[in-house]
Chains A and B, each alone.
Chain A
Amino acid sequence: MAAPLTLLLIVAVTIRAALNRSSLAELIAERVEVVSPITAWKRVIEGLALLDLGVSPYSGDVFHETPLIIYLFHFLVDYAEITFMLADVITAVALYTAVKDYNKQVFRKQKFSLEADRYPADCRELIRSPKEMYYIPLKVAMFYLLNPFTILSCVAKSTCGLNNAVIALFVLTTIKGNVLLSAIFLCLATYQSIYPLTLCAPAMLYLMQHQYIPVNFWRASFWWFVVQYLFMYLGSLFVIVCLSFFLLGSWDYLPSVYGFILSVPDLTPNIGLFWYFFAEMFEHFRLFFLCVFQINVFFYTIPLCIKLKDHPVFLMFMQLAVISIFKSYPTVGDTALYLAFLPVWSHLHRFLRNIFLVSCVLLACSALFPVLWHLWIYAGSANSNFYYAITLLFNVAQILLVSDYFYAFLRREHHLTYGLYLKKKDGSEATLVLK
């Protein structure tokens, strides 16, 4: 398996290096779909220039990345291209290893269940074979590295690539069962953009499953583990926040990074739902809707945890998807991360209801983004509504995609318990409905 992965990495790096050297690189770096006000490389450079001028990068409203990023690039600014390629490679390798491990566990669990004869007899079709699972990790790496979204993001040097790498490492360490490293990477991801905070729950669920701790509120071992994990997580968060403070000598970065993410003052168009909504918002409703939209991102954590408490990896995927759809400054790089998980759920394909439609819409939207942007901004023959309509459609498609996978996952679980070919009382073939 190492050879195809190496080949894949070489191809991916070659594509990126070629694009970086072409005239397209500058064009891509300006695209609003690829870079947001937080992740734009131009703004990172601006932050460095401000540091050189002796001005705090957070005194203005151009730079919104975290202090660690600016200090990282203080040293690596000349090697930025390599850094971003490396981040992509790390993400891909981490996801590859994580998925490989996860598949092993899935297979082992399936074997136990089969030996215990837990599956109904007609579910043979749903049992996954090692042969079909063999190429999944490679497909995941391929889905990430060769996804045009990721390539664009890397060529534009969007710092989103670094966030993705941190999240991928978090997934890897969680699946490996390393509690401390998992907490540390989660804390890094949270530090970068707040939203990964919700990944705390799937991580804890997974680690508890890994350590055979029952999820039971009446058990001391459960609470002991939760306290342990939260202590590590919050402790490292505290350390990293203080470290940033000492690097800069002021707390300016807190409002400038997290206040900026939460209060959405920059209405530069992007692929998300926030920009046009808050550009057109009535001023006295602004705070209310801001709260509603931000709570919306965090809201799904608890119900999803309850529903998917036995499947923390799928829960992680759901959380990543929800974050990338509903976050305040999404870019295609965020989308690319959860799309990379799709091959892991390839066994759900038979239950997907509208995957064809959704993928067509996603493709069409991706093509229409630059077209309508050009019509609005350069040609002047369209207005903002055109671009906004495409962002709406893109988000609807993403929501349908995620909910479709969720539906398929739940349905497969149902079939694994009750049998695949369900019959009505009178013996005729029955159809399943949600009630």
Chain B
Amino acid sequence: MAAYRCLRCAWLLLVFISSWYVVVSGEETTQGDDRVSVADNPQIAADTAEQPSEERRWEATQVDKAVPDDAAAAAHKQDFPVPDSVLTPTPQFKDTFKEELVIRPLHSGDIYASFQFRTVWETDFTRGSKVSHYRLFPKSLGQVISKFSVQELHISFTQGYWRTMQWGQPYHPSPPGAELWVWFQDTVTDVDATWKELTNVLSGIFCASLNFIDSTNTVRPSASFKPLGIANGTDHRFLRYATLPREIVCTENLTPWKKLLPCGSKAGLAVLLKSEKLFHSSFHSQAVHIRPVCQDPQCKTMSLELRQTLNVVFDLHTSGQGKREWSLFKMFSRTLTEACPLAASSKIYIDITDNPQEEQFEVSPATPLLSQAVVLGDRRTFSVYDLTQQVTFGTVRSLNVLIRWKSTEGDMLRPLLHAERYVAGYGLQTGEIHTLMYNNHPFRSFPVLLLDSVPWYLRLYVHTLTVTSKGKDNKPSYIHYEPSKDRVRPHLLEMLVQLPPHSVTEITVQFERALLKWTEYTPDPNHGFYVGSSVISALVPSTVAINTNITEEQPLFSTFFPCKEESSYFVRVYTEPLLVNLPTPDFSMPYNVICLTCTVVAVGYGSLYNLLTRSFQIEEPNPGLAKRIANIIRKMRGVPPL
């Protein structure tokens, strides 16, 4: 019995000891794992930190791949205390700069030049971290973005109107005047106040009248302006959109814009940007687009992209003196001698799609490099001049691309979507806005989103809204309407309309012109009031498959609007701004009006007061003057009066 008990005790002891051993050894192994992970990661981090500093200048894409590990290392650094000596990275640059110029000869003989400068900076402003070291990214904009918690910012200044029917679609559409639209981060509490401050700051940065943006010309579109970069939510409470159709763009706006470039206007493509030539053109548009973008298809890291674009159309007759011959020198009165030293890539593209056998025009100097890109739903071929190669500049050390037309024939592909707008009616009491949208696609119909922001002093009557295509009523499937509030906010009308194939869709809406206070008129009231362009956003069916992978290496001009589908591409079309006359009071006579109206009120008051306070009495005839004087004298004498 005792032996049995002993055996049992021993067995229990054995079990206990063995279990203790297992637990302890388990703990040891986990501790060991930890140590291993801590020890391993710094090495990876150190590796990745060194890697870009060596290879960055040549291969931009490899840097991108190294990035996630780098971020992971940074995250580890917060979690575990790691010896600094291991982790301190050698100074590395997480930003790249690319520049390019696209030249598209237009069939009208005009020429379209589109500059694009892109700075991508791998940084994250959204987490509220303080960023103080700037390299290629302009500090002035960086500070604005972090201070006002801006998610996306798009600003454009345009002089002239883009003629879609003559010139085709632009690479970067913009309405005449100034346009600003901003997505704020969802951490912003008072969006309106932030927007007000932001517009004032931008007004200073770009020397423009953006400070005239207030609640009367700001709208919150519900569908037309989606974020172009990556975004978590699309709650339109954080979106603000405003246009100033009257804004005049000139040198004072170009200079601050050029200053944002890493090379300024000293080197690279920016030397071509001389204002005396740029503003001697039929269309000029400059823009700044800031958005967060993905670095890789998995979208593990975010970087901030700054695109500065400048589009200009030189007129055949005013700039080209009627000769169908264009060169860089003729356009910009400069030639190119070098790329911007800070640029990772610097290229000139010339659209030669319509000219495969050089029967239309010839381009000299000839370049062996050809590139194909799908842009605006079409596969285009481009001659490419790589400015980072010394070969490009030839023996004369300067590049002056020359385009000489051989024949004036040839037909342009008609743009699939275009729109126009005008005011109908006569007199200063009412009117009607007509918007015409053309779908030139022979057999496909597609939906478009129309955005109209009309100032409050044109009182829209939404019950008079009619949408007709091919003579039939075409009911919009979605209408978002915010009526105006006098002196507070404008009308906002957004509609989703299906455009039938090969048709014209006409949208009309009546309005009434308000009489304003005399101080609310502009200094030239009879010039009229501008109404900003309608914005038409559409997914137009594409003839070729579109590459939806935005992180792949592509020319910049083809990657502005993100593509979600392969079969259609995004187009934004702006209509003409409207100029509408309002009835005016006579500005010269406020005093007269105040006096006269008050007199009439006083007549009313006086006559009633008279009748109310007095009573009827029999009239006693007034004694004559002589009699009155005689009576006074008699009174003094103490004699009874006459």
Contact = CB atoms under 8 A, between A and B. Distances in A.
B604 A277 contact: no
A326 interface: yes
Contacts of B428: 376-378
A422 B585 contact: no
Contacts of B516: 267, 279
Contacts of B193: none
B590 A267 contact: no
A296 B609 CA distance: 12
Contact of A384 (B483, B583, B620): B583
Contacts of B517: 267, 278-279, 281, 283
A314 B223 CA distance: 61
Interface string B56-70: 000000000000000
Interface string A411-425: 100100000001010
A273 B590 contact: no
Interface stretch (B285-293, B455-463, B539-547): B455-463
Nearest to B429: A377
Contacts of B607: 399-400, 403
A317 interface: no
B612 A277 contact: no
17 contacts: A45-B463, A49-B462, A49-B463, A55-B482, A59-B482, A60-B482, A61-B486, A265-B486, A268-B515, A269-B515, A276-B585, A279-B516, A307-B612, A378-B429, A395-B600, A407-B611, A434-B616
A266 interface: yes
Nearest to A304: B612
Q: What DSSP secondary structure best describes chain B's contact surface?
A: mixed
Interface string A373-407: 00011100001110010001001100110010011
A392 B600 contact: yes
A62 B614 contact: no
Top 10 A-B residue pairs of the complex, sorted by shortest distance between their CB atoms: A60-B483, A49-B463, A403-B607, A434-B614, A280-B593, A430-B618, A280-B590, A378-B427, A277-B597, A399-B604
Contacts of A59: 482-483, 485
Given A266-B514, A267-B515, A281-B594, A53 B481 contact: yes
Given A276-B597, A300-B608, A435-B615, A384 B481 contact: no
Contact of B601 (A49, A55, A293, A410): A293
B601 A282 contact: no
B538 to A, nearest CB: 23
Interface string A276-296: 111111110000010001001
Interface string A240-268: 00000000000000000000000001111
B612 A62 contact: no
Nearest to A308: B612
Contact of A392 (B463, B597, B611, B614): B597
Given A384-B583, A392-B597, A326 B604 contact: yes
A395 B486 CA distance: 28
Contacts of A430: 618-619
A396 B600 CA distance: 6
B457 to A, nearest CB: 10
B357 interface: no
A7 interface: no
B518 interface: yes
A250 to B, nearest CB: 15
Given A278-B517, A281-B517, A325-B604, A406 B611 contact: yes
B80 interface: no
Contact of B459 (A62, A403, A406, A435): A62
Given A279-B515, A384-B586, A385-B589, A53 B479 contact: yes
Residue in A42, A396, A400 with the greatest tally of chain B CB atoms within 10 Å: A42
A405 to B, nearest CB: 10
Contacts of A53: 462, 479, 481
Contacts of B461: 42, 45-46, 49, 62
Contacts of B459: 61-62
A325 B608 CA distance: 13
A307 B479 CA distance: 59
A432 B619 contact: yes
Interface residues of B, number: 54
A434 B610 contact: yes
Interface in B514-567: 514-519
Nearest to A433: B619
Contacts of B483: 50, 55, 59-62
A373 B543 CA distance: 56
Given A55-B483, A267-B514, A433-B619, 12 more contacts: A53-B481, A59-B483, A267-B517, A276-B597, A278-B517, A282-B590, A296-B601, A326-B604, A383-B584, A385-B589, A431-B619, A434-B610
Interface string B363-406: 00000000000000000000000000000000000000000000
B487 interface: yes
Nearest to B614: A434
Contacts of A376: 428, 583
A61 B601 CA distance: 29
B443 interface: no
Given A46-B462, A276-B585, A282-B590, A396 B427 contact: no
Interface in B444-470: 456, 459, 461-463
A410 B616 contact: yes
Contacts of B487: 265
A48 interface: yes
A378 B123 CA distance: 60
A377 B601 contact: no
B593 A432 contact: no
Interface in A5-58: 30, 32, 42, 45-46, 48-50, 53, 55
Contacts of A307: 611-612
A273 B601 contact: yes
Contacts of A304: 608, 612
B412 interface: no
A433 B605 contact: no
A411 B616 contact: yes
Interface in B123-137: none
A144 interface: no
A251 B535 CA distance: 35
A303 interface: yes
A277 B593 contact: yes
B495 to A, nearest CB: 11
A275 interface: yes
